[in-house]
Chains A and B, each alone.
Chain A
């Protein structure tokens, strides 16, 4: 019988959970706002790449340079997230919050209705492969150092299963949120992740480290909501002139 190293298992579970939360948040956000098919295909693709990397590199994973990967993935997520934040603000400022509730493809030319959504695929793929790589490095580092790789793998796998289940349970609730409101908040979420990772990639030290992430989400979401009234105000002079 294989001996379980409880401290390694628990440590890996919680360390991996922090990364897996980010992974699941991106997949659920992309699936809810764009296409579940593309989000799940992207997540599957990311996991396949990860399995190949782990199989090929093994414990050499610890030497993979994370900074350039974080910079590229973060910068791409940030510019894309800002586009969605911008579109969400413009649409809500023009038509209010509630339009689009429960509808599949409301006023959203960004998501192709008749072909595969490659943008959704890429967003999900990048989130899963980057976060998955970080989980793999945690497993190798913690498990390898303690000589208990099996317990570390079980701890990380448990984090993935538990948080994926939480994601599966919450997506129906998220689907009830009006799509344009979701677009604004998913834009804020992607921008926050992008800012955090790109910053880490160039060596920025975030105050409180991972604690900065929810603060950034709140900052972008709050700014998006604040910009609504500003955009309505900026539009007013033009509509007054046209009368």
Chain B
């Protein structure tokens, strides 16, 4: 029982660490990582994609929260 509670708390900690208040930002980062990896594999410069996706998704998330 104690182990189950500990495992649940452990899972909740990591979900909160990764997802936080808005899951769309973490999802956008994941998609951008996959996209960057695809560009690297194709031999195309990929350094611009991750910061662009990170800041773009954060801005969209802020807009949605501010308008609530």
A residues sitting closer than 8 Å to B (CB atoms) are 71, 75-76, 78-80, 82-83, 85-87, 89-90, 93, 118-119, 122, 191, 195, 198-199, 202-207, 212, 216, 219-220, 223, 227, 230-231, 234-235, 237-238
Which 9 pairs from chain A and chain B are nearest by CB?
Answer: A83-B20, A234-B66, A203-B40, A202-B37, A79-B26, A235-B66, A231-B66, A204-B46, A223-B55
Q: Please tell me if the beta carbons of A205 and B20 are within 8 angstroms of each other in the complex.
A: no
Give A84's nearest chain B residue, CB to CB: B20
Between A and B, 30 residue pairs with Cβ closer than 8 Å are A75-B29, A76-B18, A78-B29, A78-B54, A79-B19, A79-B25, A80-B20, A82-B25, A83-B25, A86-B20, A86-B22, A86-B25, A90-B62, A90-B66, A191-B54, A198-B33, A199-B46, A199-B47, A202-B37, A202-B46, A204-B40, A205-B45, A205-B47, A212-B47, A220-B51, A223-B55, A227-B58, A230-B59, A235-B67, A237-B67
- Do A227 and B20 have beta carbons less than 8 Å apart? no
Cα distance A230–B60 when bound, in Å?
11
Kindly provide the distance from the CB of B21 to the nearest chain A CB, expressed in whole angstroms: 7
Number of A-B contacts (CB under 8 A): 99
A-side contacts of B8, CB under 8 Å: none
Please name all residues of chain A whose beta carbon is closer than 8 Å to the beta carbon of B21 when the two chains form the complex.
83, 86-87
- B40 near A220 with CB under 8 A, answer no
* Measured CA separation A166–B22 after assembly (Å): 36
- Known contacts A71-B33, A119-B13; 11 further A-B pairs (Cβ under 8 A): A75-B30, A76-B17, A79-B19, A83-B20, A86-B25, A86-B65, A119-B17, A122-B17, A195-B54, A203-B40, A223-B58
Q: What residue of chain A has the Cβ atom nearest to residue B34's Cβ?
A: A202
A204-B40, A216-B51 given as contacts; is B62 within 8 A of A79 (CB)? no
Most buried by B among A93, A199, A234: A199
Q: Which residues of A contact B30 (CB under 8 A)?
A: 75
Docked complex Cα distance between A227 and B46 (Å)? 25
Identify A227's interface contact among B13, B40, B51, B59, CB under 8 A. B59
Bound complex: CA of A237 vs CA of B63, how far in Å?
12
Set of chain B residues within 8 Å of A82, measured between Cβ atoms: 25, 29, 54, 57-58
Shortest beta-carbon distance from A45 to chain B in Å: 16
The answer to whether A207 and B54 have CB atoms under 8 Å apart is no
Asked if B51 contacts A86 (CB within 8 A), the reply is no
| Shortest distance between the CB of A164 and any CB in chain B (Å) | 26
Contact of B33 among A83, A202, A237 (CB under 8 A): A202
Given B29, B33, B62, B67, which contacts A86 in the complex, CB threshold below 8 Å?
B62
Closest CB of chain B to A74's CB: distance in Å? 9
What's the least CB distance linking A198 to chain B, in Å? 6
Contact A234 B67, beta carbon cutoff 8 Å: yes
Contact among B19, B33, B62 for A75, CB-based, below 8 A: B33
Contacts of B59 in A (CB 8 A): 223, 227, 230
Contact B54 A118 (CB under 8 A): no
